[in-house]
Structure 1
Amino acid sequence: MYRPLNSESPPGESPPKTTAAAWGVERAEARRNAASNRARRNIKVKVVDLYNFNLEVSREDAVTINQVLERVKEQGRVWWAMEAKNGAGWYLQPEISSQADTTNRVSSLSLSTITGSMQLKKLIRKGIPPSLRPRVWMAVSGATKKQSTVPESYYQDLTQAVNGRETPATRQIDHDLGRTFPMHPWIDSADGRAALRRLLVAYSFRDSRVGYCQGMNFVAAMLLLVMKTEQDAFWMLAVLLENVLFNDCYAENLYGCHVEQRVFKDMFKKKFPRLAAHLDKIEFDVSLVTTEWFLCLFAKSLPSETTMRVWDVMFNEGANTLCIVALAIFKMKEEELIRTKHVGEVMKVLHDATDHAYNPDELLTVAFDKVKVMSSQTISKQRKKEQLEVMAELERRVQRLNSGDQDSGSSGSQKVMSAH
């Protein structure tokens, strides 16, 4: 007798046994549902983010982006409420707007100043509204103070003075312009490329020891998008390279970058010994990804608003922010990374993690609430130790290169050692 599947059996009659055919139907249905779910995930939605990057994202990511936009609006209302309460530009006070650790100077500050500084720190970690970023960044980073030491026309005079001059730095800048956010409607326009070139060339002459290093183009482009004017972007680039970041991060031999990589590796092994051991086993060096993260300050890896949220904190609290955020990315994917079998899998996991990090609150919550980092004093001590080792390694490599040139008669030279 035919009876539909899952129908009740008459009293006293045993339930029918599920047939192989029935299981086949169920499996086929499950496969169709899974395929349908994958198809929905693969549907791309076109969106434009806060900084006019044109994106094609999944529906889930589009929802996240819209939620972030709503939180940005809400945070804007919080900032304007603080303005109404404390006065316009309350965060512009030098004592409040400082990267220095307030706890180390309590004796010299008033209670209201300390309270204001802590309020600002908390607000900044939750995000600066895009409309206020130029003013807040200039204040908390020290760029306003740096600019005040020279004539107002400094940037214009510098760009005019170096116009038409050619150096190895300007040639590399010209080579990289077309590769800097090629899909952005303004950066990839004639006006955008011209502004980016003027900015990078001007700085290469301001500090000829640094000149230009690949990675600076992405940083400068994002500064132009945020600051709106070339002059403000120039002073943010200057304070970033001269005060915020560790010395010589963009030097020809990448000395500072190598130091930071070593400091990060030490922190990484202490925080994630199990993951570090696994990555060593499959011969994955974390600097394969962190070198680009640190040189581009995540601008090439994270979505624009997430990058800006990282920079909000970096300009107020210092360059250690970069290490903390990098650790957070590894922590968020720790279990998945431990299951990887080879280097390619690790790269894919980390690329997907950064490429889809559209929720900055999630990343920064992990960074500041779940990643317990070493104190600034401990990091500084570790940095000094690594400085000596990096300098010695650079000297050994130069000696080997010189010895090789003498032996082979070759005139070639290697500018930098590998990042790892």
Structure 2
Amino acid sequence: MQSITALMLMYLTEEESFWVLCSLADDPKYAMDLLWRPDMPAIELRFYQMERLLRMKMPKLAKHFEIEGAQHPATYQGTQWFVTCFLATSMGFECLMRVWDIYLSEGFKSIFRFGLGLLKYFENRLFQADFEEMTDIFQNGPALVDVEEYIELCLTKIKITHAELNTLERQFQHNKKKSTSKQ
């Protein structure tokens, strides 16, 4: 949350920054409140949704990740994506500002779009990589993207609907409830 606060303070007064942070936390469009709590209760849901979206949108890459042991979103910087909306990645400032413009317009579904967009952008390199090389791509790749190409890819090739996210959330809750009742 500190990186988001710092970004807000670059452009807004302290009071305006406070109210923007309140909106990001309280407005369901952004749904950041459950990611900013110490126990981050929503991160499991976001990871579940990201894993399933990757399987749906890029099944071959998802299979390659599984083979290499990189299928969990935390492996490919997922935590930084969801908690800071990419601010805690190596992504360049110009690209971050474009991502944030769209995030503020679309809400949290854009985080999935930009995350999958990064994986798509580096897809060919990721297919050639082992786990260690993948880790390097995940950590350093965002700094290498061509901003225009990346944004266009995300906006034209990566389609994610609220209906898909809602369905995945229901599946997650159902699975969680099922596993809790077995214990």
What's the TM-score, normalizing by structure 2?
0.87
**CA–CA separation in structure 1 for the residues paired with 2:173 and 2:5:** 27
Say if 1:328 and 1:392 are closer, same or farther in 2 by CA, change over 3 A.
Answer: same
Does structure 2 retain, via aligned residues, the 8 Å contact 1:261–1:290? yes
Higher helix share: 2
Residue 107 of structure 2: aligned partner: 318
**CA–CA separation in structure 2 for the residues paired with 1:239 and 1:361:** 29
**CA–CA separation in structure 2 for the residues paired with 1:218 and 1:327:** 22
Q: How far did residue 355 of structure 1 move?
A: 2.0
Say if 1:390 and 1:239 are closer, same or farther in 2 by CA, change over 3 A.
Answer: farther
Residue 219 of structure 1: aligned partner: 4
**CA–CA separation in structure 1 for the residues paired with 2:148 and 2:24:** 24
Residue 67 of structure 1: aligned partner: none
- In the TM superposition, what whole-angstrom CA distance separates every residue of 1:334-390 from its partner, at most 9, and x where no partner exists? 11101112x211011122221223x4322110001122x242222212122223434
- In the TM superposition, what whole-angstrom CA distance separates every residue of 1:285-328 from its partner, at most 9, and x where no partner exists? 33221112211110011222211211111111111000000001
**CA–CA separation in structure 1 for the residues paired with 2:39 and 2:175:** 14
CA RMSD after TM alignment: 2.0
**CA–CA separation in structure 2 for the residues paired with 1:223 and 1:362:** 26
Residue 249 of structure 1: aligned partner: 35
1:143-292 matches, cutoff 5 A: 216-227=1-12, 229-243=13-27, 244-246=29-31, 248-284=34-70, 285-288=72-75, 289-292=77-80
Residue 363 of structure 1: aligned partner: 150
Amino acid at match of 1:307: L
- In the TM superposition, what whole-angstrom CA distance separates every residue of 1:215-260 from its partner, at most 9, and x where no partner exists? x111111111122x11111111110111132351223331212111
Any unmatched runs of 5+ in structure 2? none
Residue 134 of structure 2: aligned partner: 346
**CA–CA separation in structure 2 for the residues paired with 1:260 and 1:368:** 20
Does structure 2 retain, via aligned residues, the 8 Å contact 1:269–1:276? yes
Amino acid at match of 1:234: F
Residue 331 of structure 1: aligned partner: 120
**CA–CA separation in structure 1 for the residues paired with 2:3 and 2:151:** 22
Instruction: Please state whether the residue corresponding to 1:278 is helix, strand or coil.
Output: helix
* Number of aligned positions between the proteins: 177
| Percent of residue pairs identical | 20
Q: How far did residue 392 of structure 1 move?
A: 6.4
User: Relative contact order: is structure 1 or structure 2 higher (C-alpha 8 Å, sep ≥ 6)?
Assistant: 2
**CA–CA separation in structure 2 for the residues paired with 1:338 and 1:329:** 14
